[in-house]
Amino acid sequence: MTCRRCQRSISAYIDRELRADEMRDMQAHLERCAACQREYQSLLDTKRLLSGLAAKMPREELEARILARVDAAAQGSRPARQPAVLHPLMLRRRLAMVGTALMGACAALVILAIQPQGVEPPGPASLSHWQGKPVAVEPAMPVQDILFLHEPWQRYQAAPRAMPVSSVQDRAPSQDETPKDGRLTASSAIGR
Amino acid sequence: MGEAHVAAEVARSDRDLFNELVRRCHRQAYNIAYRLAGNHADAEDLTQEAFVRAFRFFGRYNRDMPFENWLYRIISNVFVDELRRRPKLRTQSLDQPVAPAKGGSEVLPEVADDTADPERLLFHGELDEPLQHSLNMLPHEFRQAVILADIEGLSYEEISEVMGCSLGTVRSRLHRGRKLLRNRLREQYGYTLGGVRGMDQ
pLDDT band at B200 (very low <50, low <70, confident <90, very high): low
pLDDT at A187: 38
Of A11, A130, A152, nearest to B175 by CB-CB distance is A11
The answer, yes or no, to whether ipTM is higher than 0.85 is no
Best of A53, A151, A155 to disrupt the B interface (most B CBs within 10 Å) is A53
Q: Do A157 and B146 touch (CB under 8 A)?
A: no
pLDDT at A54 over 80: yes
**Per-residue pLDDT reduced to its tens digit, A31-46:** 999 999 999 999 999 9
Touching B: A residues 47-76, CB under 8 Å: 47-59, 62-63, 65-67, 69-70, 73-74
pLDDT at A95: 62
Best of B27, B45, B121, B186 to disrupt the A interface (most A CBs within 10 Å) is B27
Of B51, B175, B196, nearest to A66 by CB-CB distance is B51
Query: Which chain B residues touch A70 with a CB distance below 8 Å?
Result: 18-19, 22, 51-52, 55
pLDDT at B78: 93
Angle, vertex CA A171, rays to CA A169 and CA A177, nearest 5: 90
Q: Using CA atoms of A111, A115, A117, A118 in order, give the dihedral in degrees to the nearest 10.
A: -60
pLDDT band at B11 (very low <50, low <70, confident <90, very high): confident
| Mean pLDDT of the B98-117 span | 45
pLDDT band at B26 (very low <50, low <70, confident <90, very high): very high
Query: Which chain A residues touch B38 with a CB distance below 8 Å?
Result: none
Mean per-residue pLDDT of chain A: 64
Q: Do A70 and B51 touch (CB under 8 A)?
A: yes
Q: Do B151 and A51 touch (CB under 8 A)?
A: yes
pLDDT at B135: 94
Contacts by B31-35, CB closer than 8 A, 24 or more apart = B31/A55, B31/A56, B31/A57, B31/A156, B31/B151, B32/B72, B32/B75, B32/B147, B32/B148, B32/B151, B32/B152, B33/B75, B33/B79, B34/A56, B35/A56, B35/B132, B35/B135, B35/B143, B35/B147, B35/B151
How far is residue A72's CA from residue A121's CA, in Å, rounded to a whole number?
13
Cis amide leading into A79 (omega within 30): no
Q: How many CB pairs under 8 A join A and B?
A: 231
**Chain A touched by B187 (CB under 8 Å):** no
How far is residue B42's CA from residue B75's CA, in Å, rounded to a whole number?
12
**Per-residue pLDDT reduced to its tens digit, A130-151:** 333 343 333 444 444 444 444 4
CB atoms within 10 A of CB A177: 14
Residue with more model confidence, A100 or B128: B128
Angle, vertex CA B45, rays to CA A128 and CA A133, nearest 5: 20
Query: Which chain B residues touch A12 with a CB distance below 8 Å?
Result: 156, 171, 175
Q: Is the dihedral of CA B93, B97, B98, B102 positive or negative?
A: positive
pTM of the model: 0.65
Q: How long a stretch of residues is chain A? A: 192
- CA B194 to each of CA A35, A69, B21, B53: distance values in angstroms, whole numbers, following the listed order: 11, 46, 40, 42
**Per-residue pLDDT reduced to its tens digit, A5-24:** 999 999 999 999 999 999 99
Best of A10, A59, A70, A143 to disrupt the B interface (most B CBs within 10 Å) is A70
pLDDT band at B15 (very low <50, low <70, confident <90, very high): confident
**Chain A touched by B66 (CB under 8 Å):** yes
Residue A160's identity, in one-letter code, is: P
pLDDT at A160 over 70: no
pLDDT band at B150 (very low <50, low <70, confident <90, very high): very high
Best of B13, B30, B53 to disrupt the A interface (most A CBs within 10 Å) is B30
Residue with more model confidence, B27 or A135: B27
| Mean pLDDT of the B75-88 span | 84
Q: Do A183 and B117 touch (CB under 8 A)?
A: yes
Q: Which residue of B has its CA nearest to A129?
A: B164
Are B71 and A150 spatial neighbours (Cβ–Cβ below 8 Å)? no
SS3 helix, strand, coil % of chain A, rounded to 5? 60, 0, 40
pLDDT band at B4 (very low <50, low <70, confident <90, very high): confident
* Gap from B54 CA to chain A (nearest CA, Å): 9
**Chain B touched by A127 (CB under 8 Å):** yes
pLDDT at A110: 54
